[in-house]
Structure 1
Amino acid sequence: MRVAALALSTLLLAGCATAPQLQAGISRSEDVLAAYGQPRRIWPEADGGRTLEYSSQPMGRHCLMVRLGADGRVVSLEDGLSAASRARIEPGMTPEQVSRILGTERSRVFFRLSGEDVWDWTVEPDQIGYGLRFNVHFKDGRVVRTSQSMVFPNRRFPGLDD
């Protein structure tokens, strides 16, 4: 799993948000499976198509979402953790709606005093020198807000962010 996540992260970091061998309208589901393997999750779509989720969490910073039409052809490829995708998260959304956009989360923490369940994703930072997490705060099963957390390198234990 880590090898697949590393390969996906490397591909996306290289500026190739869409794999060269995959093209919308031409490539088929078999091509996607050959390029990326089995998805972490498969989301059914109302039109008979489906979205394949290739999340690199907890260590990676991307989540490739491959939308397939009912005919099995690639409709679109996008990074579910891009700034544009994160901006789509709004108050009132359900956990399922959030997961369909961002993919599988890195972790979940419940804060008893505030009653918030906070999910987070590792994302690309705005600058080098630290890590960045995108947080979605749920209360009573609905998004109440989002936030970001900076993660500075651990000097005592290099390579560990937490």
Structure 2
Amino acid sequence: MRMFWWNLTVGALLSACSGYGPPKDLTGLMADQVVAAMGPPDAQRVVEGGTRLEFPRGPAGRHTWFVYLDASGRATRAEQVLTEENFIRINPGMSQDDVLLLLGRPGEVQGLARSRGTVWSYRYENNSCLWFQIEMAQDQIVRSAGYGELPECRARDTAFVP
């Protein structure tokens, strides 16, 4: 019973600090208000007309929020970018920077054997136990991209072999 109350208390304290997603109506909020609500951004990028704050909710999170600010620093919109619509836009030949502009930081990065590059993995909301993976060559160019089975699903499938 003590553990229940401990978990409840810690959860309440953490949620008081920042939220997982953006406030329901963030339009017009100043950047510092967005950060107070969501925590510090992972990245801040200059985009046309202003700035974009990036809030990946990984490594196990299934969302990355981009919050757009106008030139005066006021929030204009937010979008969750880990979607299949964005994944299909990832193609061989794209640069690492292009991928970061579209999806933000990956939840997990694994090196490939013989220094052939890395695999970037993005968890996302789906019912199929999949994640989206991008093979990045050493020259930071996309070699391939597609869907793979989450490691915890593979472990679950082989756990009860008769």
Q: Same fold (TM over 0.5)?
A: yes
- Aligned CA distance change for structure 1 residues 21 and 46 (closer, same or farther; 3 Å): closer
Q: Which residue of 2 aligns with 1:14?
A: none
Establish whether residue 81 from structure 1 lines up as the match of residue 82 from structure 2: yes
Separation (CA, whole Å) in 2 of partners of 1:45 and 1:155: 42
Unaligned runs of 5+ in 2: 1-10
Separation (CA, whole Å) in 1 of partners of 2:94 and 2:154: 33
Where does 1:7-156 land on structure 2 (aligned, <5 Å)?
Answer: 7-8=19-20, 11=21, 19-23=23-27, 26-47=28-49, 49-112=50-113, 115-127=116-128, 131-139=129-137, 140-151=139-150, 152=153, 154-155=155-156
Higher helix share: 2
Per-residue deviation, 1:114: 8.7
Regions of 4+ moved over 6 Å? none
TM-score (structure 1 length as normaliser): 0.73
Unaligned runs of 5+ in 1: 12-17
Do the aligned partners of 2:96 and 2:140 also contact (CA within 8 Å) in 1? yes
Q: Percent identity?
A: 26
Do the aligned partners of 2:54 and 2:66 also contact (CA within 8 Å) in 1? yes
Per-residue deviation, 1:61: 0.3
Per-residue deviation, 1:32: 1.1
**Partner-residue secondary structure (3-state), 1:39:** coil
Do the aligned partners of 2:19 and 2:37 also contact (CA within 8 Å) in 1? no
TM-score (structure 2 length as normaliser): 0.73
- Aligned CA distance change for structure 1 residues 84 and 119 (closer, same or farther; 3 Å): same
Note the alpha carbon deviations across 1:35-85, whole angstroms, 9 max, x for none. 1121111112254x2111110110100000101111112232111212222
